[in-house]
Amino acid sequence: MNNAVHTPCQLLESLNDEQKAAALYSGGPQLIIAGAGSGKTRVLMVKAVLLCTRFSVDPQHILCITFTNKAADEMKKRLASFNVTVTAKTFHAAAMSILNAHGGYLGLKRPIGVYDEQDQLELVKSCMDELHYDKKSINPGSAAEWISRQKDELIEPDAEAVGTERIYHSIYRLYQDKLTASNALDFGDLIMKAVALLKQYPDLCRHYREKYTHLLVDEYQDTNTAQAVLLKLLAGEGKNLCVVGDPDQSIYGWRGANLNNILYFEQSFPDVKIFKLERNYRSTDIILNATNALIKTNRNRRDKTLWTDLKGIHNVISYRVGSDRVEARQVCDLIEQHMENGTPLSEMAVFYRVHSLSRMMEEVMLERAIPYTIVGGLPFYQRKEIKDILCYLRVIVNPDDLIAWKRVLGVPKRGIGEKSIIKINEFAAENVIPFSDALIQCGSVPGVTAKARQGIASVVELVNSFKDEFQSQSWSTALEALLDQLCYQDYVLQNDLPEKAETRLDNIEVFKDALSEYQKEHPDAALADYLENIALRSSIDDWDTASERVSLMSLHSAKGLEFNIVYLIGMEERMLPLIRDIENAEDIEEERRLCYVGMTRAREQLYLFSSNWRSGYGRDIFSKPSRFLMELDPQTLEIRDLAGDREYSQWNKSKGKQRFKRFVEDAVACDEQFADMIDEFAPGDRVYHYDLGSGVIMGGSGAGEKKKYIVLFDGESKPRVVFASYAGLSKMDD
């Protein structure tokens, strides 16, 4: 598509007929079904420009809602080149702005704290301690996930619940009480509270409908029920509502996304007009023919067929290899070949279903000295040293922040034990006072040692003294002084190996620079605004697209990206699709959509890998090819069998498809060890440990107090044995 446009008219003329019709429509609510690579972001941008230039809409009355902060920033940047300044935010950021302005009606005070997933988990653990629930019987991570899903459906705690639900609801109820006491919200609350506010105060709802008369929403297929309700409240009858999405790219059902929002959009907005964008500007016709055949296997979708004028010269190549090490070596061979032919490393990516598959790739890339970066690993702002600093800033801004205080009290060590913190927390609950007030009164709390009282007094005094420091001088200067008083550098050097300590200290310098840069770019912002900005970021927002490295990432992280060459590894049954117990048709369809999303990131070449044997459980496990390979258009595939798998190699363009089909369908029953669960964890699950960071479950054994996990933590060459009773592990998103 032509990007060299300078006026709104030229911008409009750069669109194809389907795009143009969608951009110009102004007759009521509209749904744009936009296939992968069909230029949907461009259509939204043109629509916003035309609303302002052709239809004389004030830009201040336009609200663009995107899936990531990065997408919102890119939208604003593109529109700025046409002197159009609209409000562009994620759903959570839009809800936050509403609550910042009017949350007082619900009893919220500014600044409002925002709890991320780690904070949420720690708060759930605190609730379980207070309720005397056994963490061996009830997993805190599962409880935290359950609470999030309730909020996605706008479900409040239920005092009448029975059975396991009663336990979860009691945790949920106390969890909400503690959030309120901390003047904090989690991500589910942001939407839920905004919905409650607009429902309870119709005049306020009318105010926002008048403020934002035109709503443009991207990635609508990934919205949950609560977000759809919020949009309905803001849009009213939807006269000037435009949503863009693709049911075939809905891949977040496990996180609460409701595919029915886009499949049955007409039920919410009966007068909707539907547009389809089927011309693809990204991939070759060969890649599209392969993936069109794959996704048409799904039943829950809106029919469309992507097409392109881009003629491919390379078939999709499917490798069958003997082992995961051979797989990694073959991928690296191909990367080196493409490097020699002039393809930049930044234009190549390796995708996988679960993060554990990156380990072998990393080993071989290190051996070959191929630069790489892992996208979607532990986010920068979740690293221990950064989280420590953020928690200090949080209690300076919001002294009621319970979870931040708990971290601050223990870093650096001051002789304040967990038992003392529990006693103070119980004292606060009994006397119905904020945790910060209980800290000041710790001398009256039975069971708190003299050493702990002294440590608490010193940290409270330190925090209070720096409230003025961050207002009277630059944030970076105040932070430097704070870290000096904490002797934080000495703390890092004493508690980490030299190499890891150096990395942590380098990260702190990067954080200082980011803090300083934000204050320069936002001279009128308060420190609370910065903390809010950090809390609403996602890991993909911080990814450096210009980095000259091969990108390694999960299929979920690949959403919205594109590369010249894509290598998709681990295409085996029980890996892709990922099946851990009984098959569910809806889950298989989402796995197929996930595979489709990964494949449609490729512009020129697509390589698919499956392996006979894959290491896991401390041994090699036989794997059969993914059923999704069979569902691709065989006319677009070139099979390269490096494993001597005669049954697989006999499936080709001209014969053997039914034989291959039987071979793949047998995989549902293959090696039941692959489906074994260790509590709520399975080998390959990505987990987070409060002290050790993120890692991958390799296996486990035992029961009760002897139950243990084998975990390979990031940056370590050997796995650790972590006993379940002390594990403190929580499951991370794939």
To the query of whether residue 296 is one of the catalytic residues in this protein, the response is no
To the query of whether residue 66 is one of the catalytic residues in this protein, the response is no
Check: CB of residue 648 under 8 Å from CB of residue 661: no
SS3 321: strand
Q: What is the DSSP annotation of 661-706?
A: HHHHHGGGGS-GGGG--BTTB-TT-EEEETTTEEEEEEEEE--GGG
Type and span of the H or E element at 345: none
- Catalytic pick from 18, 40, 304, 593? 40
Tell me the two tokens of residue 644: 């001597």
39 is an annotated ligand-binding site residue: yes
256 is an annotated ligand-binding site residue: no
Check: CB of residue 282 under 8 Å from CB of residue 599: no
38 is an annotated ligand-binding site residue: yes
- In 3D space, the residue among 255, 275, 385, 191 whose CA is nearest the CA of residue 15 turns out to be 275
35 is an annotated ligand-binding site residue: yes
34 is an annotated ligand-binding site residue: yes
37 is an annotated ligand-binding site residue: yes
Cα 490 to Cα 563: distance, rounded to the nearest angstrom = 43
Give 420's contacts (C-beta < 8 A, 6+ positions apart).
442, 447, 448, 449, 452, 456
Beta-carbon count within 10 A of 313 CB? 8
- Catalytic pick from 116, 117, 122, 219? 219
Angle, alpha carbons 139-575-689 (nearest 5°): 35
Cα 702 to Cα 32: distance, rounded to the nearest angstrom = 53
State the DSSP code for 732.
Answer: P
Please state the length of the chain: 734
Query: What's the CA dihedral at 627, 633, 637, 639 to 10 degrees?
Result: 40
41 is an annotated ligand-binding site residue: yes
To the query of whether residue 210 is one of the catalytic residues in this protein, the response is no
Check: CB of residue 217 under 8 Å from CB of residue 257: no
Contacts 24+ apart (CB under 8 A), 97-104: 98/194, 98/197, 98/198, 98/208, 99/185, 99/190, 99/193, 99/194, 99/197, 102/197, 102/201, 102/204, 103/193, 103/197
- Catalytic pick from 394, 574, 601, 624? 601
To the query of whether residue 221 is one of the catalytic residues in this protein, the response is no
SS3 332: helix
To the query of whether residue 601 is one of the catalytic residues in this protein, the response is yes
284 is an annotated ligand-binding site residue: no
Using a 10 angstrom Cβ sphere, with 0-12 exposed, 13-18 middle and 19 or more buried, the burial of residue 160 is exposed
- Catalytic pick from 223, 227, 249, 284? 249
To the query of whether residue 278 is one of the catalytic residues in this protein, the response is no
Cα 258 to Cα 527: distance, rounded to the nearest angstrom = 35
Cα 85 to Cα 75: distance, rounded to the nearest angstrom = 10
- Catalytic pick from 18, 19, 30, 41? 41
252, amino acid identity:
Y
656, amino acid identity:
G
Across-strand partners of 639?
318
Tell me the two tokens of residue 66: 């995107």
28, amino acid identity:
G
Instruction: Return the active site residues.
Output: 40-41, 218-219, 249, 601
Q: Which residues are annotated as a binding site for ATP?
A: 34-41
Q: Which residues are annotated as a binding site?
A: 34-41
